[in-house]
Amino acid sequence: MKSALKKFSCSKFWQYFSLSFVKCWAISGMSVFIFIIVYWIYGGLLAYCTLFVIILVILYQIQDNLLYHPEDSFQSRYYVQIPPVVGLPYENIFLRSIDGTLIHLYFIAQIGEKSLTAPTLVFFHGNAGNMGHRLQNASGLYHNLHCNILMVEYRGYGLSSGRPSEEGLCMDARAAVDYLSSRKDINHRQIIVFGRSLGGAIAIDLAARPEYSAKIWCLILENTFTSIPDMADALFQWRFLKSIPLICYKNKFLSRQKIARVNNPTLFVSGLSDALVPPAMMTELHNKCGSIYKQLLHIEAGTHNDTWTCSGYYTSIANFLHSAATFKPDPPIIISSIKDV
């Protein structure tokens, strides 16, 4: 499986790299021009050194294109499915992020007065497509957990403006929680933050900030990673990646370091059939989590994007939330598992 994954990852990498390089055609053309001028005036050695530096700069600049894929699905930057498609009520929201970028959200409330007492789950999705592609999952959470849901569409995704970046996405997450704080029609004592894959890294960054941790009741992380450098090493297994300084990574998402500062009750949902993010990363995050109440849920048949379709998924999350609501100091660390049925 590892060799197949490596082959797939490499092909995907070169596909996205070539597309990113085409997007930077002006910079690329200028680079060739500079190389020729330097070669003609100063000779080969300096010219090749200049070209090497230019390539490094281009690689640094296109990292966003290699990591974020808001256009991975057809028309995903122009068309976002609305919740009524899966029978859910909703409010369509546009708000300004911390730096003024306009972002798009769906607020899906329980019917009637139930919304006043129900928990509210903030949904941070993965790095491809838009939040409309997660509506089936949102419907399952809505009906099984009896919660309100705030779905967040990061900058550069779906109908949100701007371009994605690590700093920008984390600002959007904080803006979403700030928005919930301004609403008078929800239970502010039960805010759940949910993040899958890239969304998990964003959720960890949010919960690791004391001023936002105080606003969060529980954290749910699904198939997320320890850091972007770790993912690069796991996917490509190129030895030279280990020697690349951290400063060379434009996007880092250092969840391994941040998770130690998380003290909210935390559920780690790990699909053991995940062929993208190694399940060992979820185990490591669980072990390093600073919360005194944490649970690692293994789902044997769970893949990276489809763990939520496995039997027992929603029941396990509901059980965790019930336990978190009644937990007392020094609870046992629970490790559970769901096998394919």
Question: What's the rounded Cα separation, in Å, for the pair 227 and 231?
Answer: 6
Mean pLDDT value across residues 149-159? 97
Q: How many CB atoms lie within 10 A of CB 19?
A: 13
Q: Please, what is the Cα angle at 295 between 290 and 296, to 5 degrees?
A: 105
Identify the architecture of domain 83-338 in CATH. Answer: 3-Layer(aba) Sandwich (3.40)
Mean pLDDT value across residues 286-291? 97
Residue with tokens 């998770």: 259
Which residue numbers are catalytic?
A: 197, 274, 304
Mean pLDDT value across residues 155-167? 96
Question: What residue spans define the domains of the chain?
Answer: 2-67, 83-338
Question: What's the rounded Cα separation, in Å, for the pair 134 and 37?
Answer: 51
| DSSP H stretches of helix in the chain | 2-23, 25-42, 44-61, 63-67, 114-117, 135-145, 166-182, 198-207, 210-213, 228-236, 255-258, 279-288, 313-326
The chain-wide mean pLDDT, for the chain, equals 85
* pLDDT-based confidence at residue 6 (cuts at 50, 70, 90): very low
Q: Is the pTM higher than 0.75? A: yes
- Tens digits of per-residue pLDDT, 323-334? 999 876 655 455
Residue with tokens 């989590």: 289
- Tens digits of per-residue pLDDT, 307-328? 999 999 999 999 999 999 987 6
Q: Are strands 294-299 and 218-222 parallel, antiparallel or unpaired?
A: unpaired
Contacts of 201 (CB under 8 A, 6+ apart): 195, 224, 225, 253, 255
Contacts of 252 (CB under 8 A, 6+ apart): 166, 227, 228, 229, 246
